[in-house]
């Protein structure tokens, strides 16, 4: 079972399908059929750039994904990279995963806690709130927490009387203010301080920070505060042996590094080999974080795309 149907969760489901008969992916959001931002992914209204290495990792799990995203309207940016809104990226990914036999994705289903055996050595199920009702899913073999920054695994483990999860955090104090504009042919530009103009599908651009508006605005600016990044060291403690925590639930990186999607994809790839217990994937997932976490924690200017574009 996978909690969270965003980038890390969807790719984890694909990887698990290599050796698991059935994968259920639950997300607390209503998952839109169209291309629009959703509450559980507030960063979806802000610029997302996935570098070539990220596309390569996704392509290893989902051959042809790059072509599908291009066909859906993403704009070419160099030989191996595409620019699109985050909602288009995610919807293209979700549609691809929905087509896999043996994978079921359910929205409006919030995972609210974990059930374990008497020795707290295995997760046996999860409690779920769905449509105003509380229920449980039992007899699960493996739980992947891909619930992002909102992950409540530390609190669930504490409620079971297990050791606290060691956590490190770095104050970044970022505030993103982004807005879409109707404009065709505006050149994409990313500045070192995070301000940017990015071409998107449908002759639109997404502008973040204090940049001269390139055309007619679509909707109001969106604001997102990103005060701090954190890293949780699950690989250092005893947790139930069939619980794996990946993606932003394990570590949020400085968004200006544009590494979150790539790391999530590479971590998901670790699940293509049979998972006997969490030790191997959790340690290898941690190893993938070493360089980007060091870059996140390194002192830098606190410049942030903080002023509305318009
Ligand atoms: C402003 C900003 C800009 C960014 N720009 C980039 C970029 O340019 N390039 C890049 O690679 N990365 C970028 N990132 C990082 C990127 O968004 C994440 O790393 C990436 O989305 C992977 O996240 P995830 O799947 O782990 O979690 P998320 O994408 O946050 O998804 C978590 C999912 O879990 C669901 N959920 C939460 N709680 C529950 C629950 N209890 N039960 C069920 N479901 C639940 C949510 O609804 C959501 O669908 C940016 C981040 C921010 C904040």
The string of pLDDT tens digits covering residues 69-128 is 999 999 999 888 999 999 999 999 999 999 999 999 999 999 999 999 999 999 999 999
Long-range contacts of 154-158, Cβ-Cβ distance < 8 Å, separation of 24 or more: 154/232, 156/113, 156/114, 157/239
Q: Please check whether residue 165 is in contact with residue 153, taking contact to mean a CB–CB distance below 8 angstroms.
A: yes
Domain annotation covers residue 81: yes
Number of domains in the chain: 1
Specify whether the backbone of 161 is left (phi greater than 0), alpha (psi in -120 to 50) or beta. Answer: left
Predicted local confidence at residue 186, as pLDDT: 79
218 domain-assigned: no
pTM score, whole prediction:
0.96
Q: How close is the Cα of 140 to the center of ligand 1, in Å?
A: 24
Low-confidence ranges of the chain (pLDDT < 50): 306-310
The CATH number that applies at residue 105 is 3.50.50.60
Q: Does the residue 251 lie in any domain?
A: yes
**Cα 233 to middle of ligand 1, angstroms:** 19
Instruction: Count CA atoms within 13 Å of residue 231 on its CB side.
Output: 22
Go through the chain and tell me how many residues it has: 310
Give the atom of ligand 1 at the shortest distance from the alpha carbon of 246: 26
174/294 Cα distance (integer angstroms): 18
Q: Write out the two tokens for 299.
A: 């002192």
- Does residue 134 form part of some domain? yes
Q: How far is the CA of 74 from the centre of ligand 1 (A)?
A: 20
CA–CA gap between residue 259 and residue 243 (Å, rounded): 24
Q: Best substitution site from 5, 11, 42, 43 to test ligand 1's pocket, by max atoms within 8 Å of Cβ?
A: 43
3-state secondary structure of 26: strand
C-alpha span between 261 and 61 (Å, rounded)? 14
CB 198 within 8 A of CB 50: no
Q: CA end-to-end span of the chain, whole Å?
A: 44
Give the Cα separation of 145 and 88 in Å (integer).
23
Determine the distance separating the centroid of ligand 1 and the alpha carbon of 149, expressed in angstroms: 7
Which residues does a 6 A CB cutoff place in the pocket of ligand 1?
3-9, 26-29, 40-41, 43, 46-50, 110-111, 146-150, 176, 224, 226, 247-249, 255, 258-262, 264
Tell me the Ramachandran region of residue 131: left when phi exceeds 0, alpha when psi lies from -120 to 50, beta otherwise: left
Residue 174 lies in a domain: no
Range of the domain at 253: 2-168+231-297
Do 124 and 116 touch, CB atoms closer than 8 A?
A: yes
Give nearest CA residue, ligand 1 atom 48: 40
Quick one: pLDDT at residue 304?
A: 52
Residue 265 lies in a domain: yes
Ligand 1: distance of its center to the CA of 208 in Å? Answer: 18
214 within domain boundaries: no
pLDDT score for 302: 52
Within 10 angstroms of residue 290's Cβ, the number of other Cβ atoms is 9
Structure tokens at 160: 């079971």
- Residue 202: inside a domain: no
Atom 8, ligand 1: which residue's CA is nearest? 48
Give me the pLDDT at residue 211, please. 87
Residue nearest to atom 16 of ligand 1 (CA): 260
Q: Given the CA of residue 262, which atom of ligand 1 is nearest to it?
A: 11
């Amino acid at each position: 079972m996978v909690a969270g149907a965003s980038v890390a969760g969807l790719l984890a489901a694909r990887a698990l399908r290599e050796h698991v008969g059935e994968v259920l992916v639950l997300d607390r959001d209503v998952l839109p059929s169209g291309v629009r931002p959703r509450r559980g992914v507030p960063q979806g209204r802000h610029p997302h750039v996935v570098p070539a290495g990220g596309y390569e990792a996704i392509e290893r799990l989902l051959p042809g994904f790059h072509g599908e995203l291009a066909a859906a309207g993403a704009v070419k940016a160099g030989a191996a990279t595409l620019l699109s809104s985050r909602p288009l990226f995610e919807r293209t990914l979700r549609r691809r995963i929905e087509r896999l036999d043996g994978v079921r994705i359910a929205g409006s289903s919030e995972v609210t806690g974990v059930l374990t055996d008497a020795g707290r050595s295995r997760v046996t199920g999860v409690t779920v709130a769905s449509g105003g009702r509380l229920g449980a899913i039992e007899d699960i073999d493996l739980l992947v927490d891909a619930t992002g920054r909102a992950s409540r695994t530390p609190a669930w483990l504490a409620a079971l009387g297990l050791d606290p999860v060691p956590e490190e955090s770095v104050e970044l104090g970022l505030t993103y203010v982004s807005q879409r504009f109707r404009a065709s042919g505006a050149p994409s530009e990313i500045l070192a301080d995070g301000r940017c103009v990015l071409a998107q599908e449908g002759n639109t651009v997404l502008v973040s920070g204090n940049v001269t508006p390139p055309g007619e605005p679509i909707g109001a600016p969106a604001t997102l505060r990103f005060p701090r990044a954190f890293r949780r060291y699950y690989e250092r403690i005893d947790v139930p042996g069939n619980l794996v925590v990946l993606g932003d639930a394990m570590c949020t990186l400085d968004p200006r590094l544009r590494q979150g999607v790539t790391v999530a994809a590479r971590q998901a790839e670790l699940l293509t080999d049979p998972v006997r217990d969490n030790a191997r994937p959790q340690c290898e997932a941690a190893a993938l974080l070493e360089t980007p976490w060091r870059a996140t924690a390194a002192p830098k200017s606190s410049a942030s795309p903080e002023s509305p574009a318009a």
